Amino acid sequence: MFLTISTTGTPERPATDLGFLLHKHPGKAQAFSTSHGTAHVFYPEAAPERCTAALLLEVDPVALVRRGQGKGRGGAPDAALAQYVNDRPYAASSLLAVALRAVFGSALNGRCAARPELVGQVRPLRIEIPVLPARGGAELVHRLFDPLGWYLVRPEPLPLDEQFPEWGASRYVRLVLEGELRLTDALRQLYVLLPVLDDAKHYWVAPDEVDKLLRAGDGWLAGHPENGLITSRYLARHKRLTRDALERLELARLAEADGSEAEDLDNAVDEDTDTAERPLPLAVRRREAIVAALRAAGAARVLDLGCGQGQLVQELLRDVSFTEITGVDVSVRALGTAARRLRLERMGEKQSGRVRLLQGSLAYTDKRLAGYDAAVLSEVVEHLDPPRLPALEYAVFGAARPRTVLVTTPNAEYNVRWETLPAGRFRHADHRFEWTRAEFRDWAGAVAGRHGYTVEFTPVGEDDPEVGPPTQMAVFTRDGETDTDTTDTTDTTDTPKEGEAA
Ligand code: SAH
């Protein structure tokens, strides 16, 4: 069983930092004895530009059988030779996950005493597992890893016998993953998903397995579209434990959403009592700017990503040129409020055919988001932890790829103008960061470059000569789509939508 983890580096962030992160010196080959055999860790390459750590697990089949763990599915305990002659020693599997934890436990838990600042770093990572049992094949590998922010997920089915290709594929794949992630996130995903793919647990499933699963799944499992399958397989289809785990995941998801759905300081104006005399609240001006930009882009089918309580969706419904409006949010509670605000229940058929609310996380690619003219991310990016931003970037600009994307976010420089905001504080308790104009431009410019978009910036609210506007907006246009394009292939006509529950 073999797994390699590679990273590339620069002089400021050398690839050999991998040694610190894994707590294993790149200059040494080390061996660890685990309950199933010997785990070897060594570095086939260790240079500042590129560094690879390899984990080789030498399984002792006899020890496995003695521990009563080498049995195939339903095999009688004394089925003699079959117990000793099986794929366990050769294929990466749950045992590799156990070894990962035994050997790279600190890295998996996100601890790095020597260089704590490295833990939060998103790094280019490449993981390769030459032989991985995958019950469910390449297709399931995609369903499990695609939503997790990897740029490349490549499971190659391995033939049953190289000499006889006509025999077809075995249940093994060679797996390559590439992406920019924190090492701790990558390891925690593997720790859970390797046994899920193997689907043959080799140890007794004790109740504390639920805790282990939730710990390893923290931050990615609750919102994963396959969390039911993952949980059930990880817990060896143990019904009660699976139900417990799913309930706790749901609670975690709600708690996470609760934290992020409170109104922003600059939104916290009772808009319903707004009168013409007062200056327009910033949230209203923001929506006006967004609607104007959507009209200018000629968008008809619009996604409101992180729609919160549905104020923008409501605004868009007033304009018939928006033929289809989809609000997406991770928070079930916010969506409930949005549905009440829109009076979805009492809407006529024609109106309700134009609007839809979906629960989902923007940190995952989602097929439902493909095929729209435009997507809006209004005051959303700053609610994500910076390491999750590449995943959002990929889900929106890489996978959904609408012609136009609008992103608004607070301008941190303007905060000195908020009288009620103590210096150094963010506008909202859930903001993970607030960008200056330069920081926003850097991010947006890099995103546009990576995904074939052009980006322009528009101030929202009074543009202070010194500190800029309170809100900054980026308008991304997919390359080759800047002009009025009559050969447009996206469907902007008023086609009936496929049937769905009202
Ligand atoms: N767009 C609205 C709400 C902004 S508040 C407005 O402009 O007023 C940020 C919203 O993003 C919240 O509703 C929060 O639940 C949602 N959100 C945060 N992280 C998310 C994620 N990963 N996926 C989807 N929505 C998310």
Q: Is 460 near ligand 1, meaning CB less than 6 Å away? A: no
Q: Which two tokens stand for residue 7?
A: 């990273």
Could you tell which of 309, 380, 426 is best to mutate to test the pocket of ligand 1, judged by most ligand atoms within 8 Å of the CB?
Answer: 380
Q: How far is the CA of 149 from the centre of ligand 1 (A)?
A: 19
Residue 334 in contact with ligand 1 by CB distance below 6 A: yes
Which of 253, 254, 256, 260 most suits a substitution to test ligand 1, by most atoms within 8 Å of the C-beta? Answer: 260
Rounded CA separation 320/80 (Å): 73
Structure tokens at 328: 């997406």
Ligand 1 atom 7, closest CA: 378
Does the beta carbon of 257 sit less than 6 angstroms from any atom of ligand 1?
A: yes
Instruction: Produce one character per residue of 316-351: b if its CB has 16 or more CB atoms within 10 Å, e if not.
Output: bbeeeebbbbbbbbbbeebbebbbeebebeebeeee
Ligand 1 and 209: CB distance under 6 A? no
Phi–psi pair at 417, nearest 5 degrees: -85, -10
In the prediction, which pLDDT does 159 show?
A: 79
Q: Is the CB of 361 inside a 6 Å radius of any atom of ligand 1?
A: yes
Among the listed residues 413, 175, 124, 364, the one whose alpha carbon sits nearest the alpha carbon of residue 253: 364
Compute the distance between CA of residue 71 and CA of residue 203 in angstroms, rounded to an integer.
11
pLDDT mean over 254-259? 56
State the average pLDDT for the chain: 83
Distance CA 89, CA 95 (A): 9
The residue nearest atom 18 of ligand 1, judged by CA position, is: 383
Which atom of ligand 1 approaches the CA of 361 most closely? 23
pLDDT, greater one: 501 or 104: 104
- The region, left, alpha or beta by phi > 0 then psi within -120 to 50, assigned to residue 168 is left
pLDDT band at 261 (very low <50, low <70, confident <90, very high): very low
Report in angstroms the alpha-carbon separations of 383 from 260, 427, 450: 7, 11, 22
CA–CA distance, 174 with 4 (Å, rounded to integer)? 12
Q: What is the pLDDT of residues 313-328, one digit of tens each?
A: 999 998 999 999 999 9
Q: What is the mean pLDDT of residues 145-153?
A: 86
Output the CA 467–ligand 1 centroid distance in Å: 26
pLDDT number for residue 277: 36
> Quick one: pLDDT band at residue 436, thresholds 50, 70, 90?
very high
Length of the chain counted residue by residue: 502
How much is the average pLDDT of 280-303? 92
Ligand 1 atom closest to Cα of 257?
15
Asked if residue 391 has its Cβ within 6 Å of ligand 1, the reply is no
State the pLDDT at residue 237. 86
Q: DSSP label at 464?
A: B
pLDDT top residue among 161 and 70: 161
Q: Which of 330, 335, 394 to mutate to test the pocket of ligand 1 (most atoms within 8 A of CB)?
A: 330
Q: Is-above-0.95 flag for pTM?
A: no
Distance (angstroms) between ligand 1 centre and the Cα of 361 equals 9
Q: How far is CA 405 from CA 23, 359, 398, in A?
A: 42, 20, 12
214 lines ligand 1 (CB under 6 A): no
Rounded distance, CA 347 to CA 331, Å?
22
Query: Going by DSSP bridges, is the β-strand pair 301-305/374-378 parallel, antiparallel, or unpaired?
Result: parallel
Question: For atom 3 of ligand 1, which residue has the closest CA?
Answer: 308
Q: What is the pLDDT of residue 354?
A: 94
Question: Long-range contacts made by residues 162-166, C-beta under 8 angstroms, separation at least 24?
Answer: none
Question: What domains, with CATH codes, occur in the chain?
Answer: 2-203 (3.30.1610.20), 265-478 (3.40.50.150)
Q: Is 379 in the pocket of ligand 1 (CB under 6 A)?
A: yes
pLDDT at 214 > cutoff 70: yes
pLDDT bucket at 433, cuts 50 / 70 / 90:
very high
Distance from residue 248's CA to the centre of ligand 1 (Å):
22
- Nearest atom in ligand 1 to the alpha carbon of residue 311 is 8
Ligand 1 atom 13 nearest Cα? 308
- Cα dihedral: 227, 230, 232, 237 (round 10): 170
As a whole number of angstroms, the distance between CA 455 and CA 449 comes to 9
Q: Which of 46-60, 407-421, 440-454, 484-498 has the lowest mean pLDDT?
A: 484-498
pLDDT score, position 63: 62
SS3 184: helix
**Is pLDDT larger for residue 235 or for residue 345?**
235
Average pLDDT over residues 132-158: 89
H helices of 280-388, in order, are: 282-296, 311-317, 332-342, 349-352
